[in-house]
Amino acid sequence: MKIVLMILSFLLAGNMHAQAIKNQDIACLKQAFSAKSKPRLAAQFSLTQDNPNELQYVFSGLFLFYKSFFSTQDNLHCSFHPSCSEYGLEAVKKLGLVRGVVCTFDRLSRCNGFSPELYEIDQERRVLKDPVGW
Amino acid sequence: MTQKLLFFLCWISTVHFISAQTVAESLLFAREQATTEDRSLALKTYQRVLFFSGDRYRDECRSQLAALYADQGEFEKAAFYCDLLYESADTDSLRYEALFSKTGMLMLQNQYKKAILELLSLPKNLPEPWVSRKQLYLGAAHFGIHEFDLARIDLLPLIAAENVEGRASFERLMRQAEQVSRKSPKIARTLSFILPGAGQFYAGDIKNGVNSILLNALMFVWFINTGVAYTFVEAAMTVAPWIFRYYGGGIRHAGEIVDIKKEERLRMVFQKLLEEVGKPKM
């Protein structure tokens, strides 16, 4: 909205005073050099937001803890999308504790990049697609 | 037969009275839509007007399309329409406005070098208000590519010579920017190689530094415990991959954090510089 007003005022006003121009230019440059806001971790992973029971609440918390303190320091990238941690949370949420944990262990055992021919490639992220399924 | 004739008469009379929306009416509609919350309809209508009106409403449509695309965060398309406006503008004043708007769009995309090229295409004998604007934008673009000496040359004349305090503050901020830009990702990586987390501390990221040092300490304790409880060969086989994962990750991230933090701080410094430059001249 700010930018629209700025450009409208740039382009539609005919004769502007030098000082007025300067203020608008400064507003434009402030916008261009504004700090890039980083979204909160919980907001990045919408799956952690909706927790109808305590179990899901605990798993969402564990997931966020892992993402904050371990994943940020990790040197490796998961071969799949969704990543193993996201897959684990989604599996527990969708399939329940037992099936979810079994699926997660299955996924962890497959996360080695040795059999890319078995999966579709996510062209955007350049990783293998492996959604939660039973 | 009578029915067909009746139908034909009804059709012909309806067609006679119905008329399509004219270009002027579409333009009015687009202007109205541009003031509403959802501007996507305004965008489509302006495009339609631009297509059908020929040269009549060309400049207004192009400027409005640039504004609407900028509002949607599509700065590349906004810059494209500014460029078209620059090509078609009848007056120098409108042409320069279009060029400065395009420069602003390029800056919003962090394309500082392209912005410099655009600004250098302006004629040398610009009238006064435009000269100041050119200096301001050039200074910002030079600051964006970390050419602080050039940014100083461009921006300093925008602060009045009598404003000694403002000039001193400007110099202090420029020195701060130079100091921030000297932080090197290589040094951060080396520090993290020597002591996990040190590179992150050097970059000014305390949280990640503490995180890295704790995680590596945890891995080291795990390694020693496994070695003592079993053998160090077994410890190396089981724990070492984890150590390298987080130790190596810490080294790599330290370099990335320096770049991110450097950019963040330079942006903050530039905001302060703009405040100095934006203060009215005495």
Q: What is the 3-state secondary structure (H, E, C) of B178-213?
A: HHHHCCCHHHHHHHHHHCCCHHHHHHCCHHHHHHHH
CATH number at B79 reads 1.25.40.10
Could you tell me if residue B149 is inside a domain?
yes
A50 and A91 assigned to the same domain: yes
A71 and A104 assigned to the same domain: yes
Could you tell me if residue B8 is inside a domain?
no
B64 interaction partners in chain A (CB closer than 8 Å) = 8
B42 and B89 assigned to the same domain: yes
Which residue, chain included where needed, has tokens 């004769």? Answer: A15
Task: Determine what percent of chain B is predicted with pLDDT higher than 70.
Answer: 95
| Least confident residue range of A13-27, B192-206, B223-237 | A13-27
Domain housing B145: 117-158
CA distance B153 to B111: 21
Domain housing A86: 41-129
CA distance B102 to B69: 12
A72 interaction partners in chain B (CB closer than 8 Å) = 208, 211, 253
B274 interaction partners in chain A (CB closer than 8 Å) = 26, 29-30, 33
In this structure, the number of other CB atoms found within 10 A of the CB of residue B94 comes to 18
Could you tell me if residue A99 is inside a domain?
yes
Could you tell me if residue B258 is inside a domain?
yes
A22 and A80 assigned to the same domain: no
Q: Is the pLDDT of residue A36 over 50?
A: yes
Residue A11 in contact with residue B98, Cβ under 8 Å?
yes
**pLDDT tens-digit readout, B203-246:** 999 999 999 999 999 999 999 999 999 999 999 999 998 998 99
Interface contact A33-B274, CB threshold 8 A: yes
ipTM over 0.85? The verdict is: no
Task: Determine what percent of chain A is predicted with pLDDT higher than 70.
Answer: 83
Looking at the 3D structure of chain B, how many domains does it have? 3
Could you tell me if residue B174 is inside a domain?
no
Could you tell me if residue A134 is inside a domain?
no
The chain A residue lying nearest B132, using CA atoms, is A22
